[in-house]
């Protein structure tokens, strides 16, 4: 069966510090991978998606970046965090085009102080 | 671009009340439509889906019908329980694409 892991589960970082959140998927190959942010009291915002190794599409301008160094690994990074980066970050994977649903990881709660 | 609009919350109901959470969408072509649920302290999980016009998705007593003519996918349940308290997200998958667009979410509180 497929499993998606995210770590860390929670993170408290000062403004201006770097960020690295990791997501890995097991039990599937060549998945589409997604990073979402869920800010407090707001909906789910798509940040990045990837359809293959090294292929990253950015949905919103921001100081975050994403990388996909391996087929089932998706990393969200920042060189300098802002207060507005606080939120709940969700990684998801989906298989193929058309009718595929997405499977979500447990999420990382990031608080920038 | 494609978008999803759902009713603002929070929605507060008594146990056994009837639930409707409205969702409308804007998209070119025929997207697939989904309802996801996020229970307190947990991640998102798929609740139900519909892939073409007039399809009805159902799960755990929840239902939603894909209405192409009104571009809607309203979520309904005849009798809610306290355990249904959660945030509900309406979403669409762009036809032929890889992106799922989510609504802002609607928080549901069910009182005993």
Quote the radius of gyration of chain A (alpha carbons, Å): 13
pLDDT score recorded for residue A98: 55
Nearest Cα residue in chain B from A48:
B99
CB pairs < 8 Å spanning A and B: 56
* 3 state DSSP class of A84: helix
Average pLDDT over all residues of chain B: 92
In terms of C-beta density within 10 A (0-12 exposed, 13-18 middle, 19 or more buried), how is residue B37 classed?
Answer: buried
pLDDT score recorded for residue A42: 67
According to the per-residue pLDDT averaged within each range, which of A33-47, B60-74, B91-105 is highest? B60-74
pLDDT score recorded for residue B81: 97
Give B-chain residues touching A42 at CB under 8 angstroms.
Answer: 104-105
- A111: pLDDT confidence band, cut at 50, 70 and 90? very high
Peptide bond into A85 cis (omega under 30): no
Cβ distance of B44 and A104 shorter than 8 Å = yes
Which residues have C-beta within 8 Å of that of residue B106, sequence separation ≥ 6? B6, B7, B8, B9, B10, B11, B21, B87, B88, B89
Helix runs in chain A, H state only: none
pLDDT at A66 exceeding the cut of 60: yes
pLDDT digits (tens, 9 = 90+) for A68-93: 999 999 999 999 999 999 999 999 99
- By percentage, how much of chain B surpasses pLDDT 90? 71
Give B-chain residues touching A32 at CB under 8 angstroms.
Answer: 98
Cβ distance of A101 and B103 shorter than 8 Å = no
According to the per-residue pLDDT averaged within each range, which of A35-44, A51-60, A77-86, B35-44 is highest? A77-86
């Amino acid at each position: 069966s497929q499993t998606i892991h995210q770590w860390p589960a929670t993170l408290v970082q000062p403004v201006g510090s770097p960020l690295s959140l990791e997501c890995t998927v097991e039990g599937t190959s060549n998945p589409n991978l997604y990073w979402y942010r869920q800010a407090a009291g707001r909906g789910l915002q798509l940040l990045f998606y990837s359809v293959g190794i090294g292929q990253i599409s950015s949905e919103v301008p921001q100081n975050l970046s994403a990388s996909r160094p391996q087929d089932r690994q998706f990393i969200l990074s920042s060189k300098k965090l802002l207060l507005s980066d606080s939120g709940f970050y969700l990684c998801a994977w989906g298989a193929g085009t058309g009718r595929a649903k997405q499977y979500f990881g447990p999420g990382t709660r990031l608080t920038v102080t | 671009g494609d978008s999803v609009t759902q009713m603002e919350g929070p929605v507060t109901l008594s146990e056994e009340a009837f639930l409707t959470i409205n969702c409308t969408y804007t998209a070119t072509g025929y997207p697939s439509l989904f309802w996801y649920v996020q229970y307190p302290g947990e991640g998102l999980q798929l609740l139900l889906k519909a892939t073409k016009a007039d399809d009805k998705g159902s799960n755990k007593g929840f239902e939603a019908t894909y209405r192409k003519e009104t571009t809607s996918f309203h979520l309904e349940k005849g009798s809610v329980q306290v355990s249904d308290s959660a945030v509900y997200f309406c979403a669409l998958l762009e036809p032929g694409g890889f992106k799922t667009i989510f609504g802002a979410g609607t928080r549901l509180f069910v009182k005993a």
